[in-house]
Amino acid sequence: MFTNLADFLTFESPPPYQSSAKDLSSPVSQPRSSSNVHSETTSISTRCISSDEEMSRSPTSPLRSLREQCSTAHSPRSETDTEIRRKRVPADKAYFISKELLMTERTYKKDLELINVWFRDEVSKEENMPTHALTVLFGVVDPLYEFHCSFLRELEHRLATWEGRTGMPLQTHVQGVGDILLKKVQMTEFYTSYVEKLPFILERLNAAYCTNSHFERMYCDFEMQRVCYLPLTSFLLRPAYRLMHYSSLLERLVNHYGENNPDAKNCRTVLYKLKQVTSMLMKNIYYSANFVKLMELQRDLFGIDNLTTNRREFVREGCLQKLSKKGYQCRMFFLFSDVLLYANRGPINQHQFKVHGQLPLRGVMVEETEPKMGVVNCFTIYGGNRALMVAANSSEEREKWLEDLNNTILSAREPKDDAVFYSSLRSCSSSEDLLEHSDTLQTSEVVPTASGSAKPYQHFSNTTVHVCWHRNTTVGKEDYRRALMNYLSGYLLRKFKNSSGWQKLWVVFTNFCLFFYKSYQDDFPLASLPLVGYAVTLPNPHDNINKDFVFKLQFKNHIYFFRAESEYTFERWVDVIKGATLRS
C-alpha cells in the first residue's frame, strides 16, 4: 500500500506504474480482474504506523522516492518548457476557477469509479452479501457515474478550446462553463436520489459489517487494495458534498464576473438551483457525515459496542495528557453528544485504541486546573466517583475542549423523551486501576473485531484518530465538516530536497491529507501527507526559493516546498491547507 504519515515513515517504493488501458472518456470502465488486483498488492506493505522508536529511525522522506519513480518514467520538464506553456494559458481568473472545476472533476470521476466499477466487481464475485443495500447503492450511483463521464468529456473539451489547443479560434462564447452546467443541471435529480437513500445504505452496510463475517472479510480485503486510498465510507459520502463544491466554485465565478459577463447569467441560474436542492438535503447530508464518522471510530476502537446509535453525534476527538500514578501519559479522548470515552493504544494491535472508560455526560462537570508537576493547560473532568486531570497541548486546544465539553454537557442534561442509551464496554473494566496498568496487559489477549473474529484489523493510519495520537492534537466536528467541504486536486511542483529541481506531481487534497500521484490517470496514490499539525507559510530568505507561487509546509524538522501555476491556484491551495492544519 502507499505510504502515509510522510513525516514518520520511510517510503516503500512500489514497482514502476504501468499506465492503464482504460479510456478516460469512456462512460463505462472495465473492471479489473480479482487476480490482477491481488497481484498488484502482494508485495506492498499494509497500512500501518510505525512505533515512536521506528519513527525516530526513519529520517528518509517518503516523497523522496517519488523523484526516483518519476525520473524512470518521464524526463523532467525544463523550466523553459514550463514558462513557454504558461504564456499560452489564459490569464483570466475565470479560466483558473473553471480549471479547478475540471481538475476536481477528474478526481471525483475516479472516486465514483471506485464504487461503481471496482467495488461492484468485487461484491459480484461473492455470496452472502447484503444484496438489498448493494442493489440500492448501485442503483443510485450508476446514473451519477455515467453522467459525470459525459460531463468530464465536455469540460475537457471546453478547457482545451479555451486554451487554444483544439485548433478552433478563441471566441467569447466558449470562454466559460456556465452553459455546460446549465445544460447539465438535471444532475440534481441524481443527487437528490442518492442523498435521500444514503442513510439507509450506510446503516445497512454497517449492520452487515457487524453481523456478517463473510461481508466483513470482503469489505476489509477491498479496502486493502491500493486503489482504495480512503475508507470506503469516505467514497460513499463524497457525492453528498459534490453539489456544495459546485456551488462554491460558481460563487467565485459570479463574484468575479460582475453583471455584464455573458457567462454570469448561466452561472447564477445554476447556483440558485444548486443551493435550492442542497438546502433540502442538508439534514440527510449531516446525518450521513456523522454516521460515517461513527463507523470509522467503531473500527478504530475496540472494547465497546454500539457506537453507531441513531441519536449519537460526534463532537471532538484528540490526544490529552492524563495524570496517573506514573505521571502524565497520552490518552485518546472521544467526546460525543451523550458520553465521553477515553482510550489507550491497544496492547496487541497498536492500530486500534482500547476503550478503558466512559463518562455519561449528564453526570459530568469540568473545571480549569492550576498547573501540576510543571505541566500547563490543565483541566479536570469529574464524572461519577472519578476525577480525571488532563492537560492539552496548548491553551488554544484546552479552550476548544472546555467549550465543547461545557456546551455538550448542557445539551445532554436537557430533558429527552427517550431513555438515555449508553454503549457497553466489552472485555475491559471502566475502573482507573485497569487503565493505570494497561501497559502490562496479557499479550495473549485477542483483539475482537466487529464480528468477533480474530482476523487482523485492516486500517488507515492517516485517519484523524491516528494523526491526533501521533501529533498530540485534536479535531472537532466543525473541523471535520470543513474538511468535507474542501476538496481540491491539480498539478503542483515539489522542490527536490537536495537540488534546485522541481518535480511535477498530481496532488489530491481530501480528508485532512495530501495524496500524491504521478498523473491524474493513475489508479492509486504513491504517498500521502496528513496535514494536521503542519504550518503553511511563505518561504523565508534563507530557503533560497526564487520562484513565484511557492508555499512551504513544515512540521518540526519536516519541510516541503510546493509551487502552483498561478496566483489563483496558489491562494486556493494555501487556503484549503490552512483549514486542514488546524493551526491559527
584 residues of the chain, pLDDT tens digit each:
555 434 333 333 333 323 333 333 333 334 444 334 333 333 323 333 333 333 333 333 445 444 444 444 444 444 444 444 554 566 789 999 999 999 999 999 999 999 999 999 999 999 999 999 999 999 999 999 999 999 999 999 999 988 887 666 555 446 799 999 999 999 999 999 999 999 999 999 999 999 999 999 999 999 999 999 999 999 999 999 999 999 999 999 999 998 888 899 999 999 999 999 999 999 999 999 999 999 999 989 988 878 888 689 999 999 999 988 888 999 999 999 999 999 998 776 667 899 988 999 998 999 998 888 889 999 999 988 889 999 999 999 999 999 999 999 999 988 765 544 445 444 333 333 332 333 322 222 223 333 333 343 444 677 889 899 999 999 999 999 999 999 999 999 999 887 789 999 999 999 999 999 999 999 999 999 999 999 999 999 988 898 999 999 999 889 999 999 999 999 999 999 998 887 75
Q: Are 342 and 388 in contact (CB under 8 A)?
A: yes
Residue with cell 485534536: 474
pLDDT of residue 235: 97
Q: Please compute, for residue 287, the number of CA atoms within 13 A of its CA located in the half-sphere on the CB side.
A: 16
pLDDT of residue 348: 63
Here the cell at position 365 is 462537570
Q: Rounded distance, CA 279 to CA 244, Å? A: 10
Query: What size, in residues, is the chain?
Result: 584
Q: Are 493 and 507 in contact (CB under 8 A)?
A: no
- In terms of DSSP bridges, do strands 353-360 and 301-302 run parallel, antiparallel, or are they unpaired? parallel
Helices (H), 301-380: none
* Spatial CA neighbour of 367 closest among 317, 409, 430: 409
Here the cell at position 508 is 489530491
The residue type at 425:
L
Q: Are 118 and 227 in contact (CB under 8 A)?
A: yes
On the 0-12 / 13-18 / 19+ scale of CB atoms within 10 A, 110 is: buried
Report how far apart, in Å, the C-alpha atoms of 161 and of each of 90, 98, 148, 183 are: 11, 13, 20, 18
Q: Rounded distance, CA 170 to CA 163, Å? A: 8
Instruction: Determine the distance from the C-alpha atom of residue 519 to the mean position of all C-alpha atoms in its chain, rounded to a whole number.
Output: 20
Print burial letters for 162-192: b (CB count within 10 Å at least 16), e (below 16).
beeeeeeeeeeebbbbbbbbeebeebbebbb
pLDDT of residue 448: 35
Instruction: Determine the distance from the C-alpha atom of residue 499 to the mean position of all C-alpha atoms in its chain, rounded to a whole number.
Output: 31
Positions of E strands within 325-450: 327-336, 339-345, 353-360, 364-369, 378-383, 386-391
On the 0-12 / 13-18 / 19+ scale of CB atoms within 10 A, 543 is: middle
pTM for this entry: 0.80
- In terms of DSSP bridges, do strands 535-537 and 527-530 run parallel, antiparallel, or are they unpaired? unpaired
Handedness of CA 180, 186, 187, 192 (dihedral sign): positive
Here the cell at position 498 is 537536495
Q: Rounded distance, CA 380 to CA 365, Å? A: 8
